[in-house]
Amino acid sequence: MATVELTAENFDEVVADNFVVIDFWADWCGPCRQFAPVFESSSETHEDIVFAKVDTEAQPRLAGAFQVQSIPTLAIIRDGVLVFQQAGAPPQHAFEDLIRQARDLDMDQVRAQAQAQAQTQTDGS
């Protein structure tokens, strides 16, 4: 599957009910350019996952919403839940392992933990 350009305008549509791997990047970023073939290769391997790229120069509000402070930054969203976010450009084997770990998550358990954490924060306020 080809990568998708993720923007503030298409974000909700792209993320809705999908497993999405996001690469926050910029054209001037050397590590971003080095990571691009790894990202593209994985997008061709995992046809059931949406691979999306956010140009942080063109989409500063979207990058800000994810609090991206350095690039490249990777994020993974499953079922509308952010399950991973970290700066860096992992090598192919590490990126594939990250995707496998995200795929193996029990999303019912993830949602339950997120709900419990939100409740704790609400009770503590």
Catalytic residue among 29, 52, 54, 76: 29
Please indicate whether residue 32 is annotated as part of the active site. yes
Check if 64 is active-site.
Answer: no
Helix and strand totals (H; E) in the chain: 5, 5
CA–CA dist 59, 107 (Å, integer) = 29
CB burial of 63-86 (b: ≥16 within 10 Å; e: otherwise) equals: beeeebeebbbbbbbbeeeebbee
Catalytic residue among 6, 15, 21, 32: 32
Q: Distance between CA atoms of 44 and 3, rounded to whole angstroms?
A: 9
**Active site residue ranges:** 29, 32
